[in-house]
Amino acid sequence: MLLDINDKKLTQEYDDFIAQSGFGNFYQSRQWSEIKNNWKCHYFYLQDQGEIRAAMSVLSVTDSTAGKEFFYAPRGPVCDLADLETVTTLIDEAKAYAAAHNGFLLRIDPEVEHNDELVSRYARAGLHFLKNPALSSQPLMSLILKINGRSAEEILADFDKNTRYEIRSSYRRQVEPFLGSRADLETFYKFMVEMSASKSIGHRPLDYFQRVYDTYSDTSRLQFARYDGELIAGALLIGFNKTLTYLYGADPIHVRQNQSAQIQYENIKYAVAAGYEYYDLGGIFTSDINDGLYRFKRKFADHKIVHWIGNLDIVLDQDAYDKYYTHHMESFDWSKVDVSRAEVEQI
C-alpha cells in the first residue's frame, strides 16, 4: 500500500517502524527524502492485523539520459530479505506504481551482506542481484566496525600497533576533541571545499550539510579536532537505529598531528557510550591497499570489509534502460574499482 502522508497517525507508525525495525536504516527513513529534496518520495508498506510489518521508501527523479523516471529504494526494503514473499509483494506494488508514473527502472539495493544461497533463491524467482559498480547507486563494499559489547578501550586495544600509536600520539601532541554546533557547519564546509580542491573532487553545498544536521537533529553530530585553539578537521555523523554513520569527513591537512585518527576514535567512543551496535565508516570502491581512503578507514573497522549483496534493477522500459546502461558504462571511471568493464560484462 502507498502511504498517505496526510494520515498523521499512520505516518507516525511508519516512521516508528523504520526507526525501530531490526532492518531499518537512515536511508529508508522519511527524513532522508527531506535531504534529497530534488527527488520525489513514495512510501510503501504492508500490514498484518493492522500493524506495519514491512516497508520500502522509494525516491524518484527524471533521468536526463533515459528521459524517464528513475525509481530508487536506497538500502531498502525494511524487512527480512530472506522473506521472499514479503519482499516480492513490496516490489510488485512499487513496480506497478513506477510503471504507471513514467518509470523506466526500479532499483533496490538492500543493506544485506552477500549470501550465495539468498542470491540463488532470488535468481530462481527471476530477481537477479547485480554487482556492477557503474550501475550501483551505493558502494558495493563498506567498512563497518562491530562494537560487539566492547568498551572503547577494548576496541582500541584490538587495533593494530600503528593505529593505536596514531590515536594516542594525537592526544600527546595536544590535539583536542571538540563537539561542534550548527554554527560550526560553515567551518566544516570550508574544510570540505579546501579538501575537495586539493583532490580535484566535487562536494555538496553548504545547505545540504545544514539539512543533514537539522533533519536528524536529535542524533546528528559534528565532531572536530582542535589544535592550538583552532579547528583543523571535522566529521559529520548520523545516528539512526543501531548504527552511527560517519557520513562525511573533512581534513584539509594544514596540520599533520594525526587529527583524523583522533576523530575516528572519538566517534567510536561516542558510538559505544550512546549504545550503538555498529560504527559505519562508509562505503569504499576498492580494496587496493594503495587507495588512500581504503587504507585509512580499514584501520578503524578491524580490517574487515562488508560485501553487500548488490542491487536489483527491475527494468520497466528496456529501450530507456539501454540508453541509461550505455551512458553509465561508458562514463564510469573503471580505474577506481576492483573489477574491469570486461569482467562485469561477462557476468
- Residue 54: φ, ψ to 5°: -160, 150
Can you give the C-alpha Rg of the chain in angstroms?
A: 21
Question: Do the domain assignments include residue 341?
Answer: yes
Q: pLDDT tens digit string along 8-26?
A: 999 999 999 999 999 999 9
For residues 311 and 109, the answer to whether their CB atoms sit within 8 Å is yes
For residues 89 and 53, the answer to whether their CB atoms sit within 8 Å is no
Q: pLDDT tens digit string along 148-159?
A: 999 999 999 999
Q: Do 206 and 121 share a structural domain?
A: no
Q: Do 223 and 185 share a structural domain?
A: yes
Q: Do 89 and 169 share a structural domain?
A: no
Average pLDDT over residues 20-34: 96
Question: Do the domain assignments include residue 1?
Answer: no
Question: Do the domain assignments include residue 125?
Answer: yes
Q: Do 165 and 278 share a structural domain?
A: yes
Q: Do 79 and 113 share a structural domain?
A: yes
Strands ordered across the beta sheet of 305-307: 176-179, 221-227, 230-240, 243-250, 278-284, 141-146, 305-307
Q: Do 93 and 31 share a structural domain?
A: yes
Q: Do 124 and 238 share a structural domain?
A: no
Domain at 189, CATH number: 3.40.630.30
Q: Do 235 and 150 share a structural domain?
A: yes
Question: Do the domain assignments include residue 2?
Answer: no
Question: Do the domain assignments include residue 52?
Answer: yes
* Residue-wise DSSP of 175-202: -EEEE--GGGHHHHHHHHHHHHHHHT--
Q: pLDDT tens digit string along 116-147?
A: 999 999 999 999 999 999 999 999 999 999 99
Question: Do the domain assignments include residue 76?
Answer: yes
Q: pLDDT tens digit string along 65-100?
A: 999 999 999 999 999 999 999 999 999 999 999 999
Q: Do 201 and 163 share a structural domain?
A: yes
Question: Do the domain assignments include residue 3?
Answer: no
Which residue range(s) make up the domain with 301?
Answer: 143-307
**pLDDT given at position 347:** 64
Q: Do 296 and 276 share a structural domain?
A: yes
Q: How many helices (H) and strands (E) does the chain have?
A: 12, 13
Cβ–Cβ contacts within 10 Å for residue 181, how many? 8
Rounded (10°) CA dihedral 253, 338, 28, 181: 0
Q: Do 276 and 148 share a structural domain?
A: yes
Q: Do 331 and 243 share a structural domain?
A: no
C-alpha span between 70 and 63 (Å, rounded): 6
Question: Do the domain assignments include residue 19?
Answer: yes
- Residue 220: φ, ψ to 5°: -70, 155
Strands 243-250 and 278-284: parallel
Q: pLDDT tens digit string along 231-272?
A: 999 999 999 999 999 999 999 999 999 999 999 999 999 999
- The number of domains in the chain is 2
